[in-house]
Amino acid sequence: MTKKSLNEASNVGKLGFSFRRHLHEKFIEFILFLSATLSIAIMLAIIAMLLKESWVFFQQVSLWDFLTDTQWTPLFDDAHYGILPLVSGTVVSSLIALLVALPLGTIIAVYLSEFAPFTVREMAKPFLELLGGVPTVVYGYFALLFVTPLLQIIFPELPGFSLLSAGLVMGIMIIPYVSSMTEDAMRAVPMNLREGSYAMGATRFQTAIRVVMPAAFSGIAAAYILGISRAVGETMVVAIAAGMQPNLTWNPMEPAATITAYIVQVSLGDLPHGSIGYQTIFAAGLTLLILTLIFNIIGHVLRKKYREIY
Amino acid sequence: MSNINNLDEIRKIINQQRRWDLAFTVAGVIALMIAVLTFIVLFAHMLIDGAPRLSWDFFSSFPSRRPEMAGILSAWVGTTLVMIVTALSAVPLGIGAGVYLEEYAAKNLLTEIIEINISNLAGVPSIIYGLLALGLFVYQLGFGQSILAAGLALALLILPVVIVATREAIRAIPVAIREGAYALGATKWQTVIDHLLPYSSAGILTGIIIGLARAIGETAPVITIGALTFIAFLPPSPIKNEFPFLSFEWLMAPFTVMPIQMFNWVSRPEEAFQLNAAAAGLVLVVMTLAMNGLAIYLRYRMRKTIKW
């Protein structure tokens, strides 16, 4: 064998090696690509599944009845399919939760980001994170067996299940989400903005409110939106502490079911697959998904529009 | 004379503004205290009610109609098995997606859609995942109300958490590491598997632990797929005596999990069952707190030890 042919042979070998190597690389990239696109598949599957069952539901119940009827009694003989009672329960409990979570969460975030000494911040942040990790069913237990009896001392006429106690506990539960995202947004504001403000003689409070918060607006808006969609989608606290009776009311002292609590109630029973009761939970789920998607889109727009780039 | 008056005026204004500073500091501490105190009261309330019920029997008995005999054996076994399914499916998929988006993906429309979609998925209420699992896994794919269906539902739920953690951990690795690997002739995948993944493993692990801690406490999606609340038997054992020694029958078995067992006890009117709920809640909280605490500790150590 001459030297030349030896060289050629090894070149062929190298080419084969690099071809196989290339194929191997492409194969792996394809697998990774598939796992990334799985997220789109999940979203499409969620939408398809909700639409499919809701479609059958809306064959039997007109959309007009669904949106305007004031009673939700799908499992009774005299069946009514008005989503309003479930929406009112969801709105009232979420509003109470937000009245607690947004102010407290914002104050905590501003305090931790602008006022607190280093050690307090280093202690408080992990603690808040732990709070966010407590299972929601535990908060439900707390609302029903601790907060409700406590509130009954103040308001003796409060029933055992109420939107008020569920909403309050839900608010406390959401604080960590709001505060940690708001704080992250505020800490991302560059130091020289604060220094400029201090140099002009502003106090910490003035700097925080008039310089840092406006600069962090898009992030704070995102935090609030996340808080809202958490409150709207929260299930176990309301299912345990607000009762499961659909009730068209705006009074927080009354028991009422939310969209999520209704889904839980139906799932606990044994409804045959394909019955109208089975389809109602998908129609309710579709309503819930549309509500949260609207909030997500608003959040996205706000973030895009008011994003400050430094 | 007027100068001094002016100075007094200014001092007054400054003091006034300082009072605002002080007032806000107080408000901040109070707000923080409300969050902290709530948690302490919650924990103490559960501890007082639940601690007397915690005994070996509580962990080794099935649920029962008699509250003092009831235990959480089927619940914790169910939770463990569901978590195995969740971890085995969410971890590879989440890491794969994270690696693709960070290292492979071109900057194009599809990538942007995937990214927006992942953040949207993180905002979808957990009960919606339950409805997806009910329609898709339980009925369409015929898994039934099984451990497999629940594990997959929770895997979908925590997928965004794992993806985001993977991306952040990989992004933190300096470009020089990649350039070094490429300069030595490594392919992209060799760079990822030999360098990027090992270096980001602590960060990814943190994300996985946080995701699993969330999955353990999730109740709504598991209720939606129809997990039974009264289960007085265990799923078939995964280990058999004869060849091939492993059995996957347990994947298809009916089950219950810790949060559902707790929910079931909370919704009973008898006080004795509510004490059981407190005890189950205590176990659940300690489990999730331990996992979250471990994640926080890992992150803290990482920040201390890794200096690129």
Asked if A38 and B135 come within 8 Å (Cβ–Cβ), the reply is no
Q: Which of B284, B308, B296 lies closest to B78 in space, CA to CA? A: B284
Tens of pLDDT, residue by residue over A71-89, are 888 777 778 888 888 999 9
The answer to whether B125 touches A233, Cβ cutoff 8 Å, is: yes
Q: Who among B156, B189, B259 is closest to A42 (CB)?
A: B156
Going from the C-alpha of B163 to that of each of A35, A178, B196, B303, the distances in angstroms are: 10, 22, 15, 20
Domain boundaries, chain A: 3-59, 67-309
Q: Rounded to an integer, what distance in angstroms lies between the CA atom of residue B66 and that of residue B257? A: 20
pLDDT level of residue B129 (50, 70, 90 thresholds): very high
Residues of A in contact with B212 (CB under 8 A): none
Residues of A in contact with B128 (CB under 8 A): 46, 50, 233, 285, 288-289
Q: How many other CB atoms sit within 10 Å of the CB of residue A81?
A: 20
The answer to whether A187 touches A98, Cβ cutoff 8 Å, is: no
Give the per-residue pLDDT at B66. 78
Q: Rounded to an integer, what distance in angstroms lies between the CA atom of residue A122 and that of residue B121? A: 30
Architecture in CATH for domain A67-309? Orthogonal Bundle (1.10)
Give the per-residue pLDDT at B250. 75
Give the per-residue pLDDT at B240. 65
Tens of pLDDT, residue by residue over B13-33, are 888 888 888 999 999 999 999
The answer to whether B236 touches B253, Cβ cutoff 8 Å, is: yes
Res. B238: pLDDT tops 80:
no
Radius of gyration of chain B (CA): 26
- Residue A232, min C-alpha distance to chain B (Å): 8
Tens of pLDDT, residue by residue over B45-68, are 899 988 888 888 888 878 877 777
A275 vs A32, higher pLDDT: A32
Which residues have CB under 8 Å from B295's CB, separation 6+? Answer: B206, B207, B209, B210, B213
pLDDT level of residue A31 (50, 70, 90 thresholds): very high
pLDDT level of residue A16 (50, 70, 90 thresholds): low
The predicted model gives A225-252 an average pLDDT of: 87
Chain B contact for A281, CB < 8 A? Answer: yes
The predicted model gives A248-252 an average pLDDT of: 84
Asked if A29 and B218 come within 8 Å (Cβ–Cβ), the reply is no
The predicted model gives A173-177 an average pLDDT of: 92
pLDDT level of residue A12 (50, 70, 90 thresholds): low
Residue of B nearest to A112 (CA): B28
Q: Which of B159, B291, B136, B28 lies closest to A208 in space, CA to CA? A: B28
Give the per-residue pLDDT at B245. 65
- From chain A residues 192-211, the ones with a CB under 8 A of any chain B CB are 203-206, 208
Res. B264: pLDDT tops 60:
yes
pLDDT level of residue A250 (50, 70, 90 thresholds): confident
Res. A1: pLDDT tops 50:
no
Question: What DSSP assignment string belongs to B44-83?
Answer: HHHHHHHGGG-SHHHHHS---SSGGG---HHHHHHHHHHH
pLDDT level of residue B70 (50, 70, 90 thresholds): confident
* Cβ neighbourhood burial of B249 (10 Å; 0-12, 13-18, 19+): exposed
Please give the ipTM for the structure prediction: 0.87
Tens of pLDDT, residue by residue over A98-134, are 999 999 999 999 999 999 898 988 888 888 888 888 9
**Average pLDDT across chain A, whole number:** 87
The answer to whether B196 touches B177, Cβ cutoff 8 Å, is: yes
CB pairs under 8 A between A and B: 260
Q: Rounded to an integer, what distance in angstroms lies between the CA atom of residue B275 and that of residue B47? A: 10
Res. B228: pLDDT tops 80:
no
Res. B1: pLDDT tops 50:
no
Among the ranges given (A135-144, A163-172, B96-105, B252-261), the one the predictor scored with the smallest mean pLDDT: B252-261
